[in-house]
Amino acid sequence: PLVLGIETSCDETGVGIVRGTTLLANAIASSMEEHARYGGVVPEVAARAHLEALGPTIRAALAEASVTLDDLDAVAVTSGPGLAGALMVGVGAAKALSLSLEVPIYAVNHLVGHVGADLLGDDEPLATPTVALLVSGGHTSLLLVRDLDSDVELLGETIDDAAGEAFDKVARLLGLPYPGGPEIDRAAVGGDPDAIRFPRGLTRANDLERHRYDFSFSGLKTAVARWVEQREASGEPVPLADVAASFREAVVDVLVDKAIAACADLGVPRLLLGGGVVANRRLREVAEARADAAGIALRIPPLSLCTDNGAMIAALGARLIMAGHEPSGLGFGADSTLPVTDIQM
Ligand code: ATP
Ligand code: MG
Ligand code: FE
């Protein structure tokens, strides 16, 4: 089926078009620059930006795919989780398209959409069961995907800051601009990742009992802040490259460690990565090395499908259609806290 997917859960306005598992278009507008001066995503600003960007982005996607609205078989949209006001813009537009074109609508889960991105690769199709590690500015979640359209389980998630948020906050305290991930990457060049042993959240024996697959990054952020303060107080220069590299290593170490542990515990030899933090080269390196050592097949979709986008939502919609699921109807709303077990609304 020819499916148009709309994604507006955060600061990316994404419109993608797929035919089955074939990617035809992936148009994206981002309001990131507007948020930069606030140091993070401002919900009201994001919602307004979606309203302005959605029309042009839909047109761009149709042009890129060389199709017209009349060709569409269905519309898919992110209905949660995410920023309520931002989600509502996409949901409203998708409903309007569904009504006017008289095509079914599929309201889908953003996090499961990130896993759906992998359907669009032109290599081997997504094999299940698979563990999925999703890391972005708003999420740090470890999932067990037994079946993409019917059985997704949340193994663990962050109990405070998301990994991307930690990059953003630490960048800020180091005097680097937003978004912090790429800035920390740049600052870390030439730095020693073992220079400072920053804490790995929730990895002590007693934490592991209750939080084996959960993450915590706020303690790490505080540890970096304290380390920098002490340096400054003693009048010594702050070795920016070492701090950045050591902080990044602490984040990457714990992310990969817990994901590999989940694969080993559950006997699942497959790990999928998704989310904007996958742009981090050190994360990909460490994940590749450790997955390789553990005999785990690692899958990383292209970066344009890892960050928030409409194509992954269209792909999940197409998957639901091909698996015979009923459409969502027009009675659903945006759900900012939609649990990952609710694949479709
Ligand atoms: P959501 O959480 O809903 O997916 P988001 O907009 O926060 O939304 P993305 O756009 O996927 O998520 O990712 C943005 C985040 O990724 C930011 O926090 C940014 O700092 C982080 N990021 C981007 N590049 C890198 C990098 N090279 N290393 C680490 N983090 C990065
Ligand atoms: Mg974003
Ligand atoms: Fe996302």
- Work out which ligand 1 atom sits closest to the CA atom of 182: 27
The preferred substitution site among 7, 10, 78, 176 for testing ligand 1, maximizing ligand atoms within 8 Å of CB, is 10
Q: Do the annotations mark residue 309 as ligand-binding?
A: no
Place of tokens 């759906």: 116
Q: Helices 240-266 and 163-173: crossing angle, nearest 10°?
A: 170
- Counting residues of the chain whose pLDDT is more than 70, the rounded percentage is 100
CB of 97 sitting under 6 A from ligand 1: no
Would you call 309 exposed, middle or buried from its count of C-beta atoms within 10 A (0-12, 13-18, 19+)? buried
Average pLDDT over residues 45-52: 96
Residue 275 Cβ contacting ligand 1 at under 6 Å: yes
Q: What is the pTM of this model?
A: 0.96
ipTM exceeding cut-off 0.95 for this assembly: yes
Instruction: From the CA of 164, give the closest atom in ligand 1.
Output: 18
pLDDT at 181 over 80: yes
Using alpha carbons only, what angle is made at residue 144 by residues 105 and 133, rounded to the nearest 5 degrees? Answer: 90
Please state the rounded mean pLDDT for residues 311-324.
98
DSSP state, residue 111: H
What one-letter code names the amino acid at 280? N
Q: Alpha helices, DSSP H only, in the chain?
A: 32-36, 43-65, 84-101, 110-116, 163-173, 180-187, 205-211, 218-233, 240-266, 281-293, 303-306, 310-322
pLDDT at 123 over 90: no
Strands 140-147 and 151-157, by their bridges, are antiparallel
| Ligand 1 center from residue 135 Cα (angstroms) | 7
> What are the pLDDT digits (tens) for 270-296?
999 999 999 999 999 999 999 999 999
- Residues 133-175 have pLDDT tens digits of 999 999 999 999 999 999 999 999 999 999 999 999 999 999 9
CB-ligand 1 contact for 328 (6 Å cutoff)? no
Which candidate, 132, 211, 203, 200, places its Cα nearest to that of 166? Answer: 200
For the chain, what is the mean pLDDT?
Answer: 96
**pLDDT at 121 (0 to 100):** 74
Residue 101 one-letter amino acid: L
308 is in an annotated binding site: yes
Nearest protein Cα to ligand 1, atom 7: 137
Give the C-alpha separation, 246 to 230, whole Å: 16
> Phi then psi for 94, rounded to 5 degrees?
-65, -40
Best residue among 87, 256, 304, 308 to mutate for probing ligand 1's pocket (most ligand atoms within 8 Å of CB) is: 308
Look at residue 152 in the predicted model and tell me its pLDDT: 98
